[in-house]
Amino acid sequence: MSESKDESAAPNFVRDIIADDLRSGKHPQIVTRFPPEPNGYLHIGHAKAICVDFGLAKEFGGRCTLRFDDTNPVKEETEFVESIKEDIAWLGFEWSDIRFTSDYFDQLYAWAEDLIRAGKAYVDSQSAEQMKEGRGDFGTPGTNSPYRDRSVEENLDLFRRMKAGEFAEGAHVLRAKIDMASPNMNMRDPALYRILHAHHHRTGDAWHIYPTYDYAHGQSDAIEHVTHSLCTLEFEAHRPLYEWFIDNLDVPSKPRQIEFARLNFTYMVMSKRKLRQLVEEDHVLGWDDPRMPTLSGMRRRGFSPAAIVNLCERVGVSKRNSQVDVSLLEHAVRDDLNQHSPRHMGVMRPLEVVLENFPDDHTEWFEAPQFPGREDGGGTRRIPLTKVVYVEHDDFMEEPVKKWRRLAPGVEVRLRYAALVTCKEVVKNDVGDVVRLVCTWDPEAKGGNPADGRKVKGTIHWVSAEHGVPATVRNYDRLFSVENPGAGETNFLDQLNPDSLEVLEGARVEPDLAQAEPGTRIQFERLGYYCVDPDSSPDALVINRTITLRDSWAKKS
RNA sequence: AGGGGCGUCGACAAGUGGCUUAAGUCACCAGGUUUUGAUCCUGGCAUUCGUAGGUUCGAAUCCUACCGCCCCUGCCA
């Protein structure tokens, strides 16, 4: 059991730390937490954090709590709480508890008074601008606030009145009394509480002061007995402060903060600001637009949770700022979909083919495996062949290039699983477009196996004109056309890929797809992986292309 | 400028003084199988670990200096 786990789990420094702590007996069991701020949708970057936080807890038999970091009522909404829960569950993880930092507001407040009584916090009445000036610079130490030496009594009185709502926003702020000359800016008397007369999504109007992230996070971890508080690199400089609170307060446990690099991909933007801009300025159709790197977008696109979890394991955990090649994501998606998506045929741009020697009004049925690669075929589906079929327009070339293995005048190809046909005639319209092919079929080669054993190189997909079901297919491609959207002086919006969405209204697909439920993931053979969109209905199929199959032929040409 | 991090193949990433004349994955290249030009299989792909010195019988791993990149001056998280 543990051996197979070791094989799949690549070593990383966080795993090492946890394993050491467990081995040494520092902790009998580990506790982690995933602490999203409920102010937006989760994206693929969060998926990595989820895999690390929940995944490591699961792997080592510990627990992970889901804690909404709701210390800023002006930015947070309940709507996001639900979508975050849905996304985590979709990825397959279970939280041991759901908590909110706001659950701890009373305790946090009590600790703040403790700090004041210990002479380690004070109410500053400077303006934000004055505080900024007093903070100094990277090179120069800050200066103490003129309010820094207020008495404990005065501080307590002021702080309580802040809490009671007696002051305007910005009038006062509670600060830790640490060191205005610290080379670490975070230690120059950081703010603990600010006055905010805002309605909180959970505590309503009960509070007029709210704790800052720095003041709330570590203590919340301590309350939950978190052993390993895993976060991203930008919090590294906050760790001394995190520890200062833990050391100066009577907290129930001593969590350890460990930072690791966030996940970035080529051809993507991940910042909340940019994602919001894409949605609000209508560059995409919403937060769950299949081109978005949000988990809801990827879900709608057809990415499977297993693919995303596998990807995170492949990417690993380190402290290096890095940007992962999207091809790694694409590989993870194809790898999982290849194993789990039943095969079907669908013609994106239909070209009519008439089998002239095929009996009129006749339907020939064939059985085709759902998973041709598997030994047992993974089950079968039935597909009808009729006199008129559609093939992919791209699969015909009047003047074939060298090494062409598809339809062309005089050439014989296989209609996958069904027949061998030879192109006899090309019919064009007034402007010279090919509108129809007249072919013959070999009645002796049912299923596509020639009686004489002759080699037929090309196999193409097709759909019966009579039985095929019309569908709208939405082909998605990467949202940006450059590896680093917005790098340097450029505006990322100028680098949107104009072809990120292509809508095909006239596709025809196998009849057994007519009743497919939204969310159904399939492969259209020779094309790619697809997923039935939520917009789909039995009389108006809408299918999203998740990702194409690899195509070494297209690459060559 | 001060502080905190990080630099191993095109992209991720193992490795923490000898079993490494540096794992694995993606990408890429070359073959094979194939009723998906898919999958699958095989082979190739860093004499070198940011650079320069040093310690050592022996260094990607230790020391020194230098170079580069990222983060930090919100009453955001």
Kindly report, residue by residue over A266-297, the tens digit of the pLDDT: 999 999 999 999 999 999 999 999 999 999 99
CA A318 to C1' B13, in angstroms, rounded, equals 9
> Residue A230's beta-bridge partner residues?
A258
Six token digits for residue A426: 């090309």
Residue A7, pLDDT above cutoff 50:
no
Q: A43 lies in a domain?
A: no
Burial class for A365, CB neighbours closer than 10 Å (0-12, 13-18, 19+): exposed
Q: Which of A432, A464, A496 is the endpoint of a domain? A: A464
Q: A32 lies in a domain?
A: no
For the segment A157-208, what is each residue's pLDDT rounded down to a tens digit?
999 999 999 999 999 999 999 999 999 999 999 999 999 999 999 999 999 9
Residue A469 three-state SS:
strand
CB A77 within 8 A of CB A38: yes
Find, among A554, A538, A520, A534, the residue nearest to A370 by Cα.
A520
Binned at pLDDT 50, 70 and 90, residue A556 comes out as: confident
DSSP state of A261: P
- If you average pLDDT over residues A546-557, what whole number do you get? 91
CA angle A361, A362, A364 (to 5 degrees): 155
Domain containing A413 equals 349-464
DSSP-derived secondary structure for A317-362: --SS---B-HHHHHHHHHHHHHHH--EE-EESSEEEEEETTSPTT-
- If you average pLDDT over residues A252-276, what whole number do you get? 97
Residue A557, pLDDT above cutoff 90:
no
Rounded distance between C-alpha atoms, residue A464 and residue A79, angstroms: 46
Binned at pLDDT 50, 70 and 90, residue A5 comes out as: very low
* A17 CB neighbours strand B below 7 A: no
Strands A31-34 and A63-68: parallel
For the segment A444-468, what is each residue's pLDDT rounded down to a tens digit?
999 999 999 899 999 999 999 999 9
* A478 CB neighbours strand B below 7 A: no
Given the structure tokens 């809490």, which residue do they identify? A163
Chain B nucleotides close to protein (CB under 7 A) are 1-8, 10-16, 23-29, 35-40, 69-77
Whole-number pLDDT of residue A8: 54
Residue A545, pLDDT above cutoff 80:
yes
Q: Which residues in range 491-550 of chain A are in contact with strand B, contact meaning CB within 7 A of any of its atoms? A: 523, 525-526, 549-550
- The CATH number assigned to the domain holding A458 equals 2.40.240.10
Percent of chain A exceeding pLDDT 70 equals 99
* A194 CB neighbours strand B below 7 A: yes
* A75 CB neighbours strand B below 7 A: yes
Given the structure tokens 């467990």, which residue do they identify? A22
Residue A338: nearest nucleotide (C-alpha to C1'): B39
Q: A302 lies in a domain?
A: no
Q: A37 lies in a domain?
A: no
- The CATH number assigned to the domain holding A182 equals 3.90.800.10
Q: A515 lies in a domain?
A: no
Return the axis-axis angle of helices A213-223 and A105-117, rounded to nearest 10°.
110
Rounded distance between C-alpha atoms, residue A139 and residue A135, angstroms: 11
CA A257 to C1' B59, in angstroms, rounded, equals 32
For the segment A480-509, what is each residue's pLDDT rounded down to a tens digit?
999 999 988 899 999 999 999 999 999 999
| C-beta neighbour count of A53 within 10 angstroms | 26
Rounded distance between C-alpha atoms, residue A270 and residue A293, angstroms: 7
Residue A56, pLDDT above cutoff 80:
yes
Burial class for A429, CB neighbours closer than 10 Å (0-12, 13-18, 19+): exposed
Residue A201 three-state SS:
coil
Residue A330, pLDDT above cutoff 50:
yes
Q: A208 lies in a domain?
A: yes
Q: A539 lies in a domain?
A: no
> Residue A423's beta-bridge partner residues?
A439
Strands A343-344 and A521-524: parallel
Q: Which of A151, A178, A212 is the endpoint of a domain? A: A212
Residues of A carrying an active site annotation: 37, 262, 272
* A340 CB neighbours strand B below 7 A: no
* Residue A273 identity: R
For the segment A122-152, what is each residue's pLDDT rounded down to a tens digit?
999 999 999 999 999 999 999 999 999 999 9
Q: A469 lies in a domain?
A: no
For the segment A365-407, what is each residue's pLDDT rounded down to a tens digit?
999 999 998 888 789 999 999 999 999 999 999 999 999 999 9
* A417 CB neighbours strand B below 7 A: yes
Q: Is the predicted ipTM greater than 0.85, yes or no?
A: yes
pTM of the model: 0.95
* Residue A134 identity: G
For the segment A66-79, what is each residue's pLDDT rounded down to a tens digit?
999 999 999 888 88
Residue A553: nearest nucleotide (C-alpha to C1'): B37
Given the structure tokens 């804690």, which residue do they identify? A67
Q: Which segment of A2-11, A20-29, A150-159, A265-274 scores lowest on mean pLDDT?
A: A2-11
Phi, psi of A306 (to 5 degrees): -60, -35
Please count the structural domains in chain A.
Answer: 2
CB A544 within 8 A of CB A530: yes
> What average pLDDT does the structure give for chain A?
96
Q: Which of A424, A448, A464 is the endpoint of a domain? A: A464
